[in-house]
Amino acid sequence: MANYFSILLVVLTVVTGVVWLLDKLIWAPKRKAKKGVAEDDIPYWVDTSQQIFPVIAFVLVLRSLIYEPFQIPSGSMMPTLLVGDFILVEKFSYGLKDPVLRHKFLETGEPERGDIVVFKYPQNPNIDYIKRVIGLPGDTIVYQNKQLFIRPKCTGNNVKACEKLQPVPTEFVSRGEFVQNMAQLLRYEEDLGTVSHDVLRHPTRNEIASRFYTQPGTRSNEWLVPEGEYFVMGDNRDNSRDSRYWGFVPDANLVGKAVAIWISFEFERKAEDVIPTWVPTGIRFDRIGGIE
């Protein structure tokens, strides 16, 4: 849907721009020569194009190259992002791309471990997903017994990383703030080195290794991140379909970096309420601001 909207914006910008240009170079001079006043008898569709062209062009540039708004549709990124959060995604963080073919024409940066990224779901590029970057190209990732292990890519300046997998430091924070399927979720703080953030674990749900995405030459629950791709996970670890299940995110699928919550609605309604569930019940002002 998001890509269709981008295509619509491009088409409207081109059509109204062409009409504006033709009027300025050809039709307006003819009207002026005929009647002496260029503004007289401008067709409605020409006048409309002149009015909306700069607005649509501005929106196209803003949305395609600078910032784009997204809504959080599920709880896979709790507790960092909640259903009802509306976020801003920085489009220029990982390169500038054209809005239709999404071909990158300018390099501006690469994801860092811990970034929250929006990307095109590899199995269906028409769907936008949001997850946290855990593994960079060349990293080895293991997720075993709800514990995350990372071995960074081995380089000449990073010989220690080649020795063994290192568990990501975690610290228990609380229990019961979030409930899922009648179970009180456990909240932990996880330190990825570049950023610390909170994750949720289900107290009883076990990992099902056979459902995880596996690579040839690696053991169950282990992944070696290919060059030009990224390993992503949801912060709600036991309620997230992510790289553990469907694989890696190619650089070409990246949309941008989630940087801020600009508004957050809550939708707490009882089953007997007559008001539709999509109508907000309040605004969570305390959630507005930057994202970690």
Does an H or E element contain 245, and which? helix 243-246
For residue 4, the model assigns a pLDDT of 73
CA 8 to each of CA 1, 19, 50, 105: distance values in angstroms, whole numbers, following the listed order = 11, 17, 18, 21
Coil, strand or helix at 261: strand
- Give 221-231 pLDDT, tens digit per residue: 899 999 999 99
- Residues forming the active site: 76, 131
Tokens of 169: 């430091």
Tokens of 57: 């062009």
Write down the domain spans for the chain: 2-66, 72-290
- Give 107-165 pLDDT, tens digit per residue: 999 999 999 999 999 999 989 999 999 999 999 999 998 999 999 987 766 555 566 78
Exposed/middle/buried for 202, CB within 10 Å: 0-12, 13-18, 19+? Answer: middle
Flag residues of the chain having pLDDT under 50: 1, 38, 210
CA nearest to 206, candidates 183, 233, 173: 183
Give every CB contact of residue 71 below 8 A, 6+ residues apart in sequence.
84, 85, 86, 87
Tell me the CATH class for 72-290. mainly beta
Whether the CB-CB separation of 23 and 32 falls below 8 Å is answered with no
For the packed helices 2-22 and 44-61, what is the interaxial angle rounded to 10 degrees?
A: 130
Coil, strand or helix at 243: helix
> Are β-strands 170-180 and 67-71 bridged in parallel, bridged antiparallel, or unpaired?
unpaired
Whether the CB-CB separation of 65 and 256 falls below 8 Å is answered with no
Whether the CB-CB separation of 48 and 56 falls below 8 Å is answered with no
> Whole-prediction pTM value?
0.85
Handedness of CA 162, 143, 120, 257 (dihedral sign): negative
For residue 38, the model assigns a pLDDT of 46
Whether the CB-CB separation of 230 and 251 falls below 8 Å is answered with yes
